């Protein structure tokens, strides 16, 4: 028997994002009105929607806000000397 690596269930925020996207697609059809109702910006909605189209439900998971690159960080050698 092969063991598959199951994906963890969606977190609360990802479920909320999916519900908002489905509300627009299936119920209202109006992005601006739905965003007002749920209290989010249209910019946030379209960010989530693009990620949903590109990656599916996994794209709606909460992501780190930490920078991927920090050009002004102190070099490791300097930190080691301190």
Instruction: List, for residues 21-52, the tens digit of each pLDDT value.
Output: 999 999 988 999 999 999 999 999 999 999 99
The reported pLDDT for the residue numbered 82 is 76
**In the chain, domain spans:** 12-60
| Percent of the residues in the chain that have a pLDDT greater than 70, as a whole number | 93
Long-range contacts of 8-15 (CB under 8 A, 24+ apart): 10/57, 10/60, 10/61, 11/61, 11/62, 13/62, 14/57, 14/60, 14/61, 14/62
Please give the distance of CA 27 from its chain centroid, rounded to a whole number: 22
The reported pLDDT for the residue numbered 1 is 46
Q: Is the pTM of this model over 0.75?
A: no
């Amino acid at each position: 028997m092969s063991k598959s690596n199951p994906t963890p269930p969606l977190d609360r925020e990802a479920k909320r994002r999916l519900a908002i996207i489905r509300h627009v697609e299936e119920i209202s059809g109006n992005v601006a009105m739905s965003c007002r109702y749920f209290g989010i910006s249209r910019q946030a909605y379209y960010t989530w929607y693009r990620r949903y189209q590109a990656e599916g439900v996994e794209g709606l998971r909460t992501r780190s806000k930490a920078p991927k690159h920090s050009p002004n960080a102190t070099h490791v050698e300097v930190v080691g000397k301190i």
